[in-house]
Amino acid sequence: MSKKSIVVVSVFALLLLCVVVGVVVGVRKAGEKKSKDGADATGQISMSSKAIRAVCEPTDYKETCVNSLKDSSAGNTSDPKELIRIGFQVSSTALKDAMNNLSLLKELAANDSRTSQALENCEDLMDSAIDDMENSFDKMGDYDLSKIGEYINELKIWLSGATTFEDSCLDEFENITNSEVGEKMKNILQASMELTSNGLAMVTGISSVFASFNISRKLLASDEYYSDRKGSFSDKNGYPSWVTSGRRKLLQATPATIKADAIVAQDGSGQFKTITDALNTVPKQNAKTFVIYIKSGVYHEIVNVTKKMKNVMFIGDGPTKTKITGNRNYVDGIQTMSTATVSALGANFMAKDIGFENSAGPIKHQAVALRVQSDKSVFYNCLMDGYQDTLYVHAHAQFYRDCTITGTIDFIFGDAAAIFQNCKMVIKKPLHNQKCIVTAQGRKYPREATGIVLQNCTITGDTDYWAVKNVNKAYLGRPWKKHSRTIIMQSQIDDVIQPEGWLPWDGDFALNTSYYAEYDNRGTGSMQTGRVTWKGIKKINAVQANSFTVAQFIKEDWIKPTAKNKMAFGSFHKVDDTKKKKITLISVGCLFLVAVVAALATGLRGGGGGDKEESGKVSTSSKAIKALCQPTDYEETCINSLKSANTSDPKELIRVGFQVAVNALKEAMNESSTLKELANYKDSRTSQALEDCKELMDSAIDDLQKSFNKLGKFDMSKLGDYVDELKIWLSGAITFEESCLDEFENITNNDAGEKMKKILQASRELTSNGLAMVSEMSSVLTSYYNINRKLLSHEYNSDQNEESSDQNEVVFADENGYPSWVSTGRRKLLAASPATIKPNAVVAKDGSGQFKTITDALNTVPKENNKTFVIYIKSGVYKETFNVTKKMTNVMFIGDGATKTKITGKKNYVDGTNTMRTATVSILGANFMAKDIGFENSAGAIKHQAVALRVQADKSVFYNCQMDGYQDTLYVHAHAQFYRDCTISGTIDFIFGDAAVVFQNCKMVVRKPLENQSCIVTAQGRNNSRSTTGIVLQNCTITGDPAYLPVKDVNKAYLGRPWKEYSRTIIMQSQIDDIIQPEGWLPWTGDFALNTLWYGEYGNRGAGAAKTGRVKWKGIKKVSAKQANSFTVAKFVKDDWIKLTGVPYSSSLIEV
């Protein structure tokens, strides 16, 4: 045997041994705790029951978990993998049941527009949740030990997405007058939400186990991952690893060098005159990138890249040349989610050189320019322009590079795992009494793998904002949900941001549970001295920050690094020969195996207890279930949901948990008796909330199902990837469940929200439990040895001395990177121009394309498209409000420039539309990409919530895009997201949601709000401490719009505020202008989430970056280089989904 082979064999053997030991120990531990309760007449307990209890151990709803598995096919297995898969299936079934029940809610729409919209949105959201759950189910079915890391990453993203969709459904009913509808919807979703939560808990538990060993996700990766560069946080020319080589090339190309599948031109020079027409040509379930070249022009369209429109890419002529614009808004009666000018739902969506706009204006409140739900979506050099809720990073993994997002209130929001890299967040002038908030992250559960990350971005103010920045104060973010997570690192924060930095949502909500962090930021607004001191404000170091980078947070496998990439972290010596490599592989494999076996064995023993059986025998399955449920928050729910599982296999138990969560969500959607009562409610808000809940529950089901499937395909060699995916999906599921409840927040009849909470209780507990289990798995892995995820990867290898100081080990800089999930093809598309791409559809208002509307183009996207479907949107203002549906996967928008190709809408909350529905564009389909596109919600500050873009798409990428709005401009709803070189403008919470999102090299522009408003850049909505979500700004610029500058001392601006309890936001290596108040962060309300949030600033520059005045909340973290590195693309959103797409990105910390 060769030396190299010996190393590989040794590592794998060790890995296997660890797993075996962990399972055995876990089963024993669970067995020792269980005795009397599980004894049968013969004193014997089925091994399946033991396994179910062990699998449910880490869940938050243990009873739901145990019961869901006990009553399912899981009762006949003790295989943890199968139990988890079954759990996913049960969750999916619960979501489908809930979704079916919502069909009766259509009766409410007759006289109540809000309620009708909410119901419709809920249907869509639940459908998305179902997708995520089924994806999780399938992933577990394909379980490959060698790919454990990839599996877990996917599962976490999908499960997080499912939770996000469920939550988003409930969010629909928040402001509806008849709150009783929301309450009943909550009841309908309760089971599915608990089950989805349980699934996420299970996957999180798995992730925690493996994370304790810090075993490489790319343990057996090929030589392409090696590098002769010394250990650092950086790499060169990187994306999330899920951005394939083809996608990277597309992102690097220009329209002239791309052969687009469709060309859109308003002047008739393309195949279509609308983007919608071009999208309509996308093959269903498209498997390759479908490029739509959108020529210069303003496209007045509402574009929806549906879930089935996968692998679509929009490429324009520049974010200011190709603009998709709409003006849907909440004030005019549209629910926030539906206000999106562009909605990207289909997986692997990409956009380059496109402008997304919602022109509703601040007076129209929520008006989303772009909503992204697309998993592994990429936006490169795009502009998201709006006011409130400009960019809705709804769910899944998303990546934004070199984009500009503008807005006023929560203009980047949502619950995706979204990273903005080198982006610019521009705060616009809000209404007179408004504050401005950049982000409003919507992570509800701590296990969700979601969050908004801004890395090397710039948070600044629009010209009009500077004059009012001291009146309409701006903040980095606020906690939309309990576990809101936003990280801003290595970014420029101008002095538009208030010294407090973060803003509370309401009282002390989420102040202790959110996670807001700033790391290594620069600029006047980055000063930490005045920052709020909530418990949730985290001081993170370089290592912690690194966990929010592309490679870690949204997983670097979508950003295939270049040959000269640097090590993400650590100080491993360079492996120069095959002998060392193989020896290491063998050793790590054996160690891993031993650790897992030992962990499970210990878990089962500890879970046993003192109850004795008559025969002294305890079911191995019951022990396994109890051990597995140990770390969950709803242990009883977990145990009950897995009781029927006749297996002790932790993997199967977790799968069963996922299935139970899915079933709970389906049941919530199917509760006909409850829904019949809802028919009496005629108010529009309630109707919209119900509709939105249906959509959100569907999305939550999707995430849970994906988690179930992911565990089914479990590959030990890809353990890290598996855990990361699972956490993202489970976090997404949690987000969707929470979003559903959010729908009822401002509805007059708040009884509806209470009933919806009851309906969703079971599914929420189960989903939380799922995340807890997966998180525990991850924790176990990371706690053993500090083994590099890229241990034997060439570009991450290091010859640096292991004893070197942290400062010496950390290299902040790299050039041109993406999350690894941006493939080579996607990168090429993002790098290309419309002239060099052959789009699948061309949209042009002038008739020079195939379509005149983006919606028409989207309708051509094949269902479940598995290749990039490029929609080129020519220059123009497209007054459209559309969704890139869940089935529109792998869609890419490319325009002629973020200010030339603009998608604009004006839906807003004030006019009667619930926030989620106000999005001009909603991106749901996984792997969405956008380049050179402008997303706008033109409702204006006076219309309050008005989302320009809502992003739920997992692994979505936005490059050189612009999101313009005021309040809630960008809704990073769920899953992994990445924004590069984008501009996001807004006033209040203009980047909000619960995605795992990284903004890189972006510009956040604070706009002038209403007279009495403060401005908040972010409002991260992480509501589960295990959620892998958060908002990360890296190397961005936070500045003020010129109109804002005169009022910056009146309308004060802040980096963010905790939308949810565990809100997490990190701003690092960015320019923070002096529009940001010294406090930096703003409370949401009272002391809510101040102790639980996680807010960090690291390596920032600019007048607003000074920390001396920062708030002193417990949640404000002092971030070290290592901590900041955890929030980079490679760490936070895992850059394997931006691999070789061509969109430049930084996978780690950068040199400033």
Q: Which residues are catalytic?
A: 410, 989
d(CA 940, CA 707): 39
Output the CA angle 900-465-500, nearest 5 degrees. Answer: 120
Give the Å distances, CA to CA, from 717 to 97, 152, 409, 821, 1130. Answer: 36, 11, 43, 17, 19
286-288 and 815-817 beta bridge pairing: unpaired
Contact 480, 1061 (CB under 8 A): no
d(CA 60, CA 34): 19
Contact 58, 630 (CB under 8 A): yes
Q: SS3 of 1046, please? A: strand
390: left (phi over 0), alpha (psi -120 to 50) or beta: alpha
For residue 363, the 8-state DSSP code is G
For residue 202, the 8-state DSSP code is H
1030-1060 and 494-496 beta bridge pairing: unpaired
Read off the tokens for 338.
């539906």
Nearest to 340 by CA among 300, 302, 397, 294: 302
For residue 229, the 8-state DSSP code is S
Contact 1034, 546 (CB under 8 A): no
3-state secondary structure 44-102: CCCHHHHHHHHHCCECCCHHHHHHHHHCCHHHHCCCHHHHHHHHHHHHHHHHHHHHHHH
Contact 157, 397 (CB under 8 A): yes
End-to-end, the C-alpha distance of the chain in Å comes to 47
Give the Å distances, CA to CA, from 682 to 181, 628, 872, 947. Answer: 10, 45, 41, 25
Give the Å distances, CA to CA, from 957 to 350, 625, 745. Answer: 5, 38, 30
Nearest to 1150 by CA among 552, 421, 248, 450: 421
Contact 721, 152 (CB under 8 A): yes
Output the CA angle 978-1117-1135, nearest 5 degrees. Answer: 20
Tally of residues, the chain: 1152
Give the Å distances, CA to CA, from 378 to 490, 550, 617, 932, 972. Answer: 20, 12, 54, 12, 13
Beta carbons within 8 Å of 205's beta carbon, 6+ residues apart: 57, 58, 628, 631, 632, 654, 772, 773, 774, 775, 776, 777, 778, 779, 780
Q: SS3 of 719, please? A: helix
Give the Å distances, CA to CA, from 654 to 81, 319, 988. Answer: 6, 44, 39
Q: What are phi and psi of 1045, to 5 degrees?
A: -55, -40
